[in-house]
Amino acid sequence: MKDERISFYVSKQNEGLGKTIQKDLILLDTPYFMTLDSDDWVEPETLELLLDEMEY
């Protein structure tokens, strides 16, 4: 399933978290973003709950 609202990119070299987030901010065209590492886990409803809280 492809969701056009979600995008990702892969860095060819390990540049560290700070450099990666700087690149994210340049590429983004949205008021919200979330970063996840390969060992992170979020429940399926996590993003919906966060958005509901921000818009409340």
Tell me: pLDDT of 56 over 80. no
Q: Dihedral (C-alpha) 50, 37, 13, 20: value to the nearest 10 degrees?
A: 30
Q: For position 45, what pLDDT does the model report?
A: 92
Q: What's the CA gap between 41 and 22, in Å, rounded?
A: 23
| Mean pLDDT in residue range 8-17 | 75
Residues with Cβ within 8 Å of residue 32, at least 6 apart in sequence: 51, 54
pLDDT in tens, 15-50: 788 887 888 788 888 888 888 888 999 998 998 899
Tell me: pLDDT of 5 over 80. no
Q: For position 1, what pLDDT does the model report?
A: 58
